[in-house]
Chain A
Amino acid sequence: DTGVSQNPRHKITKRGQNVTFRCDPISEHNRLYWYRQTLGQGPEFLTYFQNEAQLEKSRLLSDRFSAERPKGSFSTLEIQRTEQGDSAMYLCASSGRQGAAWTQYFGPGTRLLVL
């Protein structure tokens, strides 16, 4: 399967703990995006990378959140000192240029529950 993969698929943690999620994009894609989706809402943009450079961060990404893409391939999203409000689905997407198109391909998501 050469699609976008995310691990873990589900994570339950206690408030105050740190969690880290991983996203493996489609191999030839140089852009990678993180989104967060809470129940009943559409996804919201968190951050995106072009190769290893983090080009934009949303105001939603507080200082407890950090994302990296060290070699321009996989990416990690870490949440420190988790809060119950962090409970959500964290989605990763990647895109690569096909002519003028930058279609984003989504991973299955990591569902986080903070108790």
Chain B
Amino acid sequence: EVQLVESGGGLVRPGGSLKLSCAASGFTFSGSAIHWVRQASGKGLEWVGRIRSRLNGYATAYAASMKGRFTISRDDSEDTSYLQMNSLKTEDTAVYYCTKAFCSGRSCHYDYWGQGTLVTVSS
């Protein structure tokens, strides 16, 4: 059974940092791209960024509003992905999901999602 379990969420002051983890099981983690998606309360889904597999050079990409502040990494020996968030703003308050991406030549979609972890940025 595929499982993605996020952790590390919590309350942080504006300007602060937080590191989220996503522990994966039930599939070949090292061969999969991992994406992070967030959702503010009562709002829609927003793509945060992704990290590709070792075969694809661990390439990362980020949404424009997060580029330079957020860093996605992975440890294939631990089947875990991380989302390091710096210079946090109140508008970063959201539930953060990690997702397993299935990518064909045409497109990528998310076939599995974690349960999410809540990040609250507030003074």
Bound pair (A, B):
no
Residues of B within 8 A of A (CB): none
